[in-house]
Chain A
């Protein structure tokens, strides 16, 4: 798209008005979006109709308490949404929704996906214990100006998929310079809906935005590579990795908050890894000591094989880790190379098959070791 509806004025208010408009003219029946919790010291998700919208919603949370894709999964896992529901998601949440749809944990029927240019999020624990007013202010400013606020999560500061492209409706903020925002249709459904808004004919060219997005993307990609390179150095080898993971208490909370880890009973909690006491004693004997609970490294590396290809680097795991391990960075690094092999980007396209579910006859030859000895010599 090269054009978007331009709406003047503060972003927060404008977006709320836009959503309310859609609910009021029955283009949508409900909306799933973030809001403040009761005490006002944290964020939560809300499922709202037009009456509840004003009371509970705040569209752009400075933290990610729970991953939005998980909420979409709760709502649509058993059956598709009953009525038309708009969902306001961060770009990484949007990508997770698409991955979950591929994994059949989300039904996209009757959903309108709305996303925005995300300035990132603060680490949850630091937000909860920090000066929230200041952080809220900093976040709001950076939402308008699209500069990185101080104290962003590591994964957010190297995120190169910061726009809501792929959504039905994209809220364009980059280049808007706090003066307003664009509503950019991404799909036919989005276009239809945008026709129903009040300002449906105030189009404005997206040229300036596209340039800035491109520039930020290049800059972020560069930063991403260098940051990940140096992080990879610091965790390379069993010794370094075990040092990083030494504070892990094997609580598996990273997997519980992960939007991609959808299994109700995780393999690493299953009986497959149980063993009798004597077997554990033998293991302890071999390794001069067995940490209890066991299989800590296996859990992390195994989880990497299970979900890292679909990992959207949303950082929920790191936020929820009670031991402050840089889990999200670890998984981002792990996923970097595997993705290159399969030329796969999670959440890029709903029609792109999961790498493990398809194959080509002629591919990945460099992972085969050719048989070199000659039979004939015998």
Chain B
């Protein structure tokens, strides 16, 4: 367990200090957009513009891991760039690094306790009341009303310490207080030194214990998670359940486009494999006398689950982007975790853990043979 220490800096002072004392080439975080009332994940290269950043703003217009992938896939930066990521984004990033879609060179990863986010459509910077109640709930270790269902049922809201270089502890604390942080990695510790934050071995800083609010939030969410999974599982009672779950789907594939794990440029389900000769439609209509179009609608979801379900971090982007309100993320979280359990795999836990389908042991899973 890393020790949390009081940095004596607010978030804006912290970002300014990164630029001043660490010779950072850039900082990426949620920030207010120059026009309109919305916030977006933005890359800044100077202290002045970075003043617009609001890293803890409770919306996820893009999974930041996808942004990191876009940023580093072709070439990593030649100087250090600090990036703020929520725990689920951090997990997604770990998975993306495993599938070689992102690099970690020269990145300073900063993560923080996550109170969940609102559906991006339902939150803007001017929603002061909502933001206030979010901060209040956060401080008391409770779920805020109106956050996304997957967020309300997420138990992995504290960033695992070996993934981020700097972890900011937020739950149970007041928003404008100086940040309480830990620095699990060497890179993080160096940053702390550069920023003039006294690490606990120096006698005059007393470590700050993690708050009890974390525990109460964990309990609430564990309960929610159980209920959510039950709800989805009863939904999939039989083949009929599968059909009705995705009955509204308009086959727009938005869920796969915004998914951080679904990185393929040409998705298998958009490929020529799923283009058929006209005769095939007549044959498939066959005995039934009817064929619903577009075809392979259900297969897309079931198949996508088989492609990325083992790496699904339940970030909720798919559900946010679904134009017809299918609880995609709740479904993928529930069924993905069942599949992950078979392989005893937790996505995003460890960079060195091999992806389940890329490894094997000789005696395992024998129950699946006949």
Direct A–B touching, Cβ under 8 Å: yes
Chain B interface residue count, CB cutoff 8 Å, equals 77
A103 CB within 8 Å of chain B: no
Q: Do the beta carbons of A49 and B323 come within 8 Å of each other?
A: no
B281 at the interface (CB under 8 A from A): yes
Contact pick for B77, options A128, A129, A281, CB 8 Å: A281
Chain A residue at minimum C-beta to C-beta distance from B67: A292
Given B46, B62, B73, which contacts A285 in the complex, CB threshold below 8 Å? B46
The reply on A239 being an interface residue by CB < 8 A is yes
Residue A370 lies at the interface, judged by CB distance under 8 Å to chain B = no
A357 at the interface (CB under 8 A from B): no
Residues on the A chain within 8 Å of B14, using CB: none
CA distance A285 to B81 in the complex (A): 13
Q: Does chain B have a CB within 8 A of A230?
A: no
A residues less than 8 Å from B121 (CB atoms)? 247, 322-324
Interface locus among A78-86, A156-164, A334-342? A78-86
Is B258 in contact with A249, judged by CB distance below 8 angstroms?
Answer: yes
CA distance A37 to B298 in the complex (A): 13
Binds B, one of A8-16, A39-47, A92-100, A195-203: A39-47
Count chain B CB atoms within 10 A of each CB in A55, A249, A274 and give the residue with the most.
Answer: A249
* B281 in contact with A75 (CB, 8 Å): yes
Q: Are B74 and A275 in contact (CB under 8 A)?
A: yes
With beta carbons under 8 angstroms apart, the residue of B42, B253, B320, B323 that contacts A290 is B42
Assembly CA distance A240 to B292 (angstroms): 42
Which A residue sits closest to B73, measured CB to CB?
A274
Contact, CB under 8 Å: A44 / B253: no
Q: How far is the CB of B98 from chain A (nearest CB, A)?
A: 19
| B248, CB-defined interface residue at 8 Å | yes
Q: Flag B173-209 by CB within 8 Å of A: 1 or 0 each.
A: 0000000000000000000000000000000000000
Within the complex, what minimum Cβ distance (angstroms) separates B224 from chain A?
23
Task: Check B43–A55 contact: CB distance below 8 A.
Answer: no
Check: A178 CB closer than 8 A to any chain B CB: no
Contacts A253-B321, A274-B74 aside, 17 further interface pairs with beta carbons under 8 A come to: A38-B247, A45-B292, A46-B290, A77-B275, A125-B324, A243-B35, A244-B36, A247-B36, A249-B62, A249-B258, A264-B270, A277-B75, A278-B78, A281-B26, A281-B79, A293-B66, A323-B120
Instruction: Give 8 nearest A-B pairs by CB, closest first.
Output: A246-B36, A52-B290, A276-B75, A52-B289, A51-B289, A292-B67, A277-B77, A288-B49
19 A–B pairs (Cβ distance < 8 Å), ordered by A: A29-B282, A47-B281, A48-B285, A51-B290, A52-B288, A74-B295, A79-B278, A249-B258, A250-B62, A251-B321, A252-B257, A270-B265, A281-B81, A289-B44, A291-B40, A291-B41, A292-B41, A292-B71, A293-B62
Chain B residues in the interface with A (C-beta under 8 A): 25-26, 28, 31, 33-38, 40-46, 48-50, 52, 61-62, 64, 66-67, 70-79, 81, 120-121, 124, 243-244, 247-248, 250-254, 257-258, 265-266, 270-271, 275-279, 281-282, 285, 288-295, 320-325
